[in-house]
Amino acid sequence: MKIKTTVSALCLAVAAVTFAGTACAAKIGVSMPTQSLQRWNQDGSNMKAMLEQSGHTVDLQYAGDNDIPTQVNQIENMIASDVDVLVVASIDGSALTEVLKGAKDKSIPVIAYDRLIMNSDAVSYYATFDNTKVGRLQGQYIADALDLANQKGPFNVELFTGPTDDNNVNFFWGGAMEVLKPYIDNGTLVVKSGQTEKEQCATLNWNLEEAQKRMENLISSVAYGPEDTPLVAVLCQNDALACGVANALLATGYDASNMPVITGQDCDKPAVKNIVRGYQSMSVFKDTRTLAAQVVKMVNSITKGETVEVNDTTTYNNGTGVIPSFLCEPVACTKDNYKELLIESGYYSEDDL
């Protein structure tokens, strides 16, 4: 295989200076979407530290605040500077087709990080969390909290997703709808805004303020409020959306005693604080240390010319074929288990929260 030949040659070149059993030192380009969300800072810094521990040099770049041309430019420069492996968390999964042709031409292996890169045959591997399961955990939390299996409702809910150019959004949506759609179809759950299509629920760039504005608009158009039309749950695909929604609901008179069930994802610090205060019900914990470690493992296998460990070879087709993937496990996080998941595991300190 071409990839193996090129990188193995690199290994031979540096074999003299590496210890037996350690990965071959290589130059790794890491492209992250934004620094405005806590998780990507953690993803980037965890990966850089672990890659450096493995003896690699790392060119870590953040694309401004989700700026697609910046990301394209940064990747172009990494390719021009002959990185040995590229790790990319894309902003728009479909915007990198052209630039990655350069990686393919130079036989630079590309690992899609967290989000699948679409329509590019330059992508060698994909490492992520089980995105369908993330959605299922969110949907199931709502189903359990409202006891949908036994109650008739009707319960009013609203739905908030990320931007559909993030391929993960489709999987989060699929997982959540597996659980919730039957209840929407039989009238147990009612979406009073009528906005039940994924595209209608999308939030540009996962932006907190955008989600807050949309919730404010729904509050006025449907007349949701503690003394008005009851709102029982809001499916939010991540913590930024959940915080925006909670802000709008707090401003309209909801408090910890009557807040609708609100889901999230990432266990961002502000969201965990909201969970503790009763302003958000749950988040999905995706331990970025695990994902970073898995990608570092992939990089090390690639640079040593060894077989790369994957655990899913059927789910993620990027339009050019199925990309061999490694899916890490997401876990539901609530007031009941956040200490164990986040503090005892060393992810956060008590002071962080």
Could you list the residues that contact ligand BGC (CB under 6 A)?
37, 39, 114-115, 162, 166, 168, 206, 238, 265-266, 286
- Tell me whether residue 23 or residue 118 sits nearer to ligand BGC (CB atom): 118
- Tell me whether residue 114 or residue 287 sits nearer to ligand BGC (CB atom): 114
- Tell me whether residue 54 or residue 128 sits nearer to ligand BGC (CB atom): 128
- Tell me whether residue 84 or residue 166 sits nearer to ligand BGC (CB atom): 166
Question: Which distant-in-sequence residues (6+ apart) come within 8 Å of 334 by Cβ?
Answer: 141, 275, 281, 282
At its nearest, how many Å lie between ligand BGC and the CB of residue 252?
25
CB 280 within 8 A of CB 246: yes
At its nearest, how many Å lie between ligand BGC and the CB of residue 24?
30
- Tell me whether residue 26 or residue 282 sits nearer to ligand BGC (CB atom): 282
Closest CA to 135 of 90, 170, 186: 170
Q: Provide the strand spans (E) within the chain.
A: 27-32, 57-62, 85-88, 110-113, 123-129, 155-160, 189-190, 233-236, 261-262, 283-285, 325-328, 331-333
In angstroms, the first-to-last Cα distance of the chain is 48
At its nearest, how many Å lie between ligand BGC and the CB of residue 90?
9
- Which residue lies nearest ligand BGC, judged by its C-beta? 238
Residue 247 structure tokens: 């802000």
Instruction: State the chain's maximal CA–CA distance in angstroms.
Output: 74
At its nearest, how many Å lie between ligand BGC and the CB of residue 13?
36
Tracing tokens 């962080």 back to the chain, one arrives at 352
